Amino acid sequence: MTIEEAQKQVDHWINTTGVRYFNELTNTAILMEEVGEVARIMARQYGEQSFKKSDTEVNLADEMADVLFVLICLANQTGIDLTEALQKNMEKKNIRDADRHQNNEKLK
């Protein structure tokens, strides 16, 4: 699935099953909540925190997909073509960071 297809699929789901988009501020809050769920799993799975009994059914891939879903909702609501935005962002990074990371002693 391309990013464009994902944006169309999310829009179709929202307008049929989801009835309508939550407003942008609500979706921003939901995005932060979903990112927090990813952070909680990362801290337990890769960090020093231990899992709680309530964490036994966590699924990192599913939580990351929740983040992507809400981000796509926000892009759709604000008229952002994520394919174009990512392409422009990569161009910016390629120019700005052409030598930056190669010259970073911390990464060697």
**Taking residues 60-69, what's their average pLDDT?**
98
Which residues have CB under 8 Å from 27's CB, separation 6+? 21, 70, 73, 74, 77
Q: Is the pTM of this model over 0.75?
A: yes
Residues in the chain: 108
11: pLDDT strictly greater than 90: yes
Average pLDDT for 74-92: 98
Residue 19's pLDDT band (boundaries 50, 70, 90)?
very high
Are the C-beta atoms of residues 105 and 76 closer than 8 Å to each other?
Answer: no
Q: Output the domain CATH number for residue 19.
A: 1.10.287.1080
Q: Share the mean pLDDT of the chain.
A: 95
Evaluate whether 70 touches 27 at the Cβ level (below 8 Å).
yes
State the alpha helices, DSSP H only, in 1-108.
Answer: 3-16, 24-45, 60-77, 82-96
* Number of domain units in the chain: 1
pLDDT category at 57 given cuts 50, 70, 90 is: confident
- CB-based contact 30:37 (threshold 8 Å): no
Domain that holds residue 26: 3-107
